[in-house]
Amino acid sequence: MRLRGHVWRTWYGFLAWYSARRQLDYHCMNWGYDDDARELLPASAGPERFPLQLYRRLLEGLPVEGRTVVEVSCGRGGGLAHVFRALRPATALGLDFAPGNIAQCRRVHGELAPRLTFRVGEAERLPLEDASVDLLLSVEASHCYSDVDAFIAEARRSLRPGGLLAWTDFRSREELPPLRAKVGAAFEVLRDEEITPGVLRSLERDAPRKQRLIESGTARPLHGILKEFAAADPSTRMFKRFSSGAERYFLWHLQKPAR
């Protein structure tokens, strides 16, 4: 498990450096969501509409306005900035273990400080005071953590009594039940949904944008690696695993007990 965290830290550090060097224009790093029954965001939301829709889907029904919000593993900050502008929390803080990502977040969204801020921080050792957060977000990141048990404990510690953890990510069919049991022991489960079909629709519809970004902005030797990482084609391993049911994408609303 420690090796997993080291590998992902190295990869995201490289990706942040390479993206800055090549001036790649993207601000979200998740696989997105698309609901064919309704429109969560209009097409005018921009080229990263599908990744932003994952945030809107995750936060449906949760109180955000006027709250203290923290996103763990915020990546390049586009999702949290959208939440800040659209849903109006009192303050929002983005944490990420890659200094290059935080530098990017500050460059792009610095005008929104001090109510929206970003800092380097570890999911397993959150730089947050006890019982200081109303709403904690984790979007497609926890599969990278070395110690997910530590993240669960840190999330519970940093949330206020009655505070909420909104968590969406993927796990293999075999890994999901034991993880569900762990969160059920630490939190009250308010919502437990599988959203794999919506993620697959997003992967299909967003593939042309991601392929253009990769092919026009990166060196050819990286094209295959980045397409696999972004699941930017139906032939990629993760697209096939989602399609077969081997991987499941979950959405959880978890509440810290009031006492």
Q: Encode pLDDT of 91-129 as tens digits.
A: 999 999 999 999 999 999 999 999 999 999 999 999 999
Flag whether 228 is in a domain. no
Q: Tell me whether residue 213 is exposed, middle or buried, using C-beta atoms within 10 angstroms of its C-beta: 0 to 12, 13 to 18, 19 or more.
A: middle
- The stretch 65-74 carries a mean pLDDT of 98
Q: What is the mean pLDDT of the chain?
A: 96
Flag whether 235 is in a domain. no
Instruction: Please list, in sequence order, all residues whose beta carbon lies within 8 angstroms of the beta carbon of residue 155, skipping any fewer than 6 positions away.
Output: 72, 126, 136, 138, 165
Cα separation, 101 vs 121, in Å, equals 11
Flag whether 214 is in a domain. no
Cα separation, 247 vs 192, in Å, equals 16
Flag whether 30 is in a domain. no
- The stretch 219-226 carries a mean pLDDT of 95
Range of the domain at 146: 2-23+42-194+245-255
What pLDDT score was predicted for residue 2?
A: 64
Flag whether 200 is in a domain. no
What pLDDT score was predicted for residue 91?
A: 98
- The stretch 136-151 carries a mean pLDDT of 96
Q: Across the chain, where does the E strand assignment appear?
A: 68-72, 91-96, 116-120, 133-139, 159-172, 188-194, 247-255
- The stretch 154-180 carries a mean pLDDT of 98
Flag whether 29 is in a domain. no
Flag whether 70 is in a domain. yes
- Extract the tokens encoding 196: 């794999």
Task: Provide the number of structural domains found in the chain.
Answer: 1
Flag whether 37 is in a domain. no
Q: What is the CATH number of the domain that holds 94?
A: 3.40.50.150
- Extract the tokens encoding 126: 């959150």
What pLDDT score was predicted for residue 161?
A: 98
